[in-house]
């Protein structure tokens, strides 16, 4: 991996600013479709949280009451995922581990010390911000009785109608700017986790080297080298091929089966020799 190039590009785009909306990590501009497959439950949880944080950022920026309703339900989803007892501990351990790994590159003449300081500084800021949050992720929001009254009803079909929650209905009639201000206040306790997940996933994604591969008759398998523990598979494929990858994997092997939609709206195995890009991230 070209650490110097990575450090320069990463620091330039990842400054942590609690006042900014860090939920809008720019997606890579590409003409291909990117699929990601986690190899363990921890990375699976990180990807789910990233997905929810991105959705939350988009919904908060909109102005419609319906958008803000789903922003609130997304906050509840993040709280549900974040309520796992060891999540916060896992994230803190990963931040500390990454800082230790990067510090191991000090003294390498190919790596800028000043850039390395900035990257490790980002990790330290994330670590301190997250460790200073009391209890589980979003625990402070559970003390908001008004929010919790909504949370108790969102799982019921139509359970947030005006006759069920008149106070919530009245809030939805407020000007968009006032609703957005409330949403930003409720989102604030989640920002340290969002930023930590963003940084960790970016480090993980940048650890892999892409390779072009071909799936003969729509099937591809690769034996993984012993002694390395991969955490994430990234697959890029041209949408013009009309193919959908079904990915499976473990510590020994990865397998990709390419499928396509037919006229009956079902997925059928492709028998074509098709190329795609594969990246294994450790």
Domain boundaries, the chain: 33-205, 211-281
Residue 185 CA to residue 10 CA, distance in Å, equals: 28
Residue 277 CA to residue 136 CA, distance in Å, equals: 38
Each as own residue / partner, the long-range contacts of residues 116-119 (CB below 8 Å, 24 or more positions apart, any chain) are 116/7, 118/7, 118/11, 119/7, 119/10, 119/11
How does DSSP classify residue 25?
Answer: P
Give the CA count within 13 Å in the CB-facing half-sphere of 177. 0
Instruction: State the pLDDT at residue 21.
Output: 54
Instruction: State the pLDDT at residue 134.
Output: 87
| 59-90 CB burial, b ≥16 within 10 A, e <16 | bbeeeeeebbbbbbbbbbbbbebbeeeebbee
pLDDT digits (tens, 9 = 90+) for 246-276: 999 988 999 999 999 887 889 999 999 999 9
Q: What are phi and psi of 213, to 5 degrees?
A: -135, 165
Residue 231 has pLDDT above 80, yes or no: yes
pLDDT digits (tens, 9 = 90+) for 159-207: 999 999 999 999 999 999 999 999 999 999 999 999 999 999 999 999 9
Residue 135 has pLDDT above 70, yes or no: yes
Beta-strand runs (E) in the chain: 33-38, 211-215, 219-223, 232-237, 244-249, 253-261, 267-269, 274-281
CATH superfamily of 33-205: YacF-like (1.10.3900.10)
Residue 245 CA to residue 269 CA, distance in Å, equals: 10
What value does the mean pLDDT take over residues 104-121? 86
Residue 267 CA to residue 258 CA, distance in Å, equals: 10
Instruction: State the pLDDT at residue 257.
Output: 98
How does DSSP classify residue 111?
Answer: S
Say how many residues make up the chain.
282
pLDDT digits (tens, 9 = 90+) for 26-84: 555 568 999 999 999 999 999 999 999 999 999 999 999 999 999 999 999 999 998 88
At the topology level of CATH, where does 211-281 sit? YacF-like (2.60.440)
- Residue, of 22 and 221, whose pLDDT is higher: 221
Instruction: State the pLDDT at residue 19.
Output: 37
Strand partners, 236: 34, 277
pLDDT confidence band for 158 (50 / 70 / 90): very high
pLDDT confidence band for 17 (50 / 70 / 90): very low
Nearest to 97 by CA among 206, 203, 215: 203
- Residue, of 227 and 60, whose pLDDT is higher: 60
- Contact (CB, 8 A) for 233 and 281: yes
- Contact (CB, 8 A) for 204 and 232: yes
Instruction: State the pLDDT at residue 23.
Output: 62
């Amino acid at each position: 991996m070209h650490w110097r190039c990575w450090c320069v590009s990463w620091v330039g785009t990842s400054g942590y600013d609690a006042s900014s909306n860090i939920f809008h990590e720019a997606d890579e501009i590409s003409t291909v479709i990117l699929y990601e497959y986690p190899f363990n439950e921890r990375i699976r949880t990180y990807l789910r949280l990233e997905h929810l944080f991105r959705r939350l950022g988009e919904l908060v920026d909109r102005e419609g009451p319906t958008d803000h309703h789903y922003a609130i339900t997304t906050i509840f989803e993040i709280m549900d995922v974040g309520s796992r007892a060891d999540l916060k501990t896992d994230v803190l351990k990963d931040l500390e581990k990454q800082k230790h790994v990067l510090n191991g590159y000090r003294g390498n003449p190919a790596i800028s010390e000043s850039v390395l300081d900035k990257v490790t500084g980002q990790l330290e800021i994330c670590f301190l911000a997250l460790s200073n949050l009391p209890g589980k992720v979003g625990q402070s929001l559970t003390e908001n009785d008004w929010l919790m009254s909504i949370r108790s009803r969102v799982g019921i079909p139509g359970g947030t109608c005006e006759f069920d929650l008149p106070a919530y209905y009245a809030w939805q009639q407020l000007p968009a700017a006032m609703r957005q201000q409330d949403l930003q206040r409720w989102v604030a306790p989640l920002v340290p986790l969002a930023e930590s997940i963003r940084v960790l996933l970016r480090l993980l994604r940048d650890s892999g080297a892409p390779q072009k591969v071909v799936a003969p008759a729509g099937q591809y398998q690769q034996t993984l080298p012993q002694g390395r523990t991969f955490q994430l598979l990234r697959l890029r494929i041209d949408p013009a091929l009309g193919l959908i990858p079904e990915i499976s994997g473990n510590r020994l092997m990865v397998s990709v089966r390419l499928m396509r939609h037919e006229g009956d709206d079902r997925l059928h195995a492709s028998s074509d020799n098709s190329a795609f890009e594969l990246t294994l991230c450790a």
